[in-house]
Copies of this chain bind each other. A is one copy, B any other.
Amino acid sequence: MTQDVTRGFESPRDRLRAEGLRVTAPRLAALEWLADHPHSTAEQVAAGVRERLGAVSTQAVYDVLNTCTRASLIRRIEPAGHPARYETRTGDNHHHLVCRRCGRTEDVDCAVGAAPCLEPSNVDGFAVDEAEVVFWGLCPDCRYGGQPGSSHRPEVTRSAVRT
């Protein structure tokens, strides 16, 4: 059982209802899967959903994920060079730690206090509504272990900025 910020208050079913969304088996399965497996890719969610329900179309999964994202029931993060990942922890200002090599993603709470990095609220005429922070690096497995799974193409980013 994951201890998620937004979980425990309401069941997936109630949360769907609260947003005026229909309660369907694929939606429940996807939300439940994500509650226990945060940062899953669409493909992983699809696998998890099929594990419980049997055949479910890929399109249905994307639809569920998009609908729930739009309703803020889940949050989508799209690390450059990796497929999108989803999580149920929404509404708080937390950021992510992503492995350049395998895409593994972990949560990082705001390092510099409450709302860091969200200084510029109206720069150059832009109406800024979100500050996204991604920490890039290598996860333990990719640092030490040799080949973690499939062949990931050589990562291109090597900026290594360390202000």
Chain A positions near chain B (C-beta within 8 angstroms): 66, 69-70, 72, 75-78, 80-81, 84, 90-93, 95, 97, 99, 106, 108, 110-112, 114-120, 123-140, 143, 154, 156-163
Per the bound structure, the CA–CA distance linking A157 and B124 in Å amounts to 11
Q: Give the contacting residue for A140; candidates B90, B116, B125; CB below 8 A.
A: B125
Per the bound structure, the CA–CA distance linking A127 and B140 in Å amounts to 8
Per the bound structure, the CA–CA distance linking A110 and B126 in Å amounts to 16
Known: A66-B156, A69-B157, A120-B97. A127 touches B111 (CB 8 A): no
Nearest B-chain residue to A138, judged by Cβ:
B127
Q: Give the contacting residue for A161; candidates B106, B123, B127; CB below 8 A.
A: B123
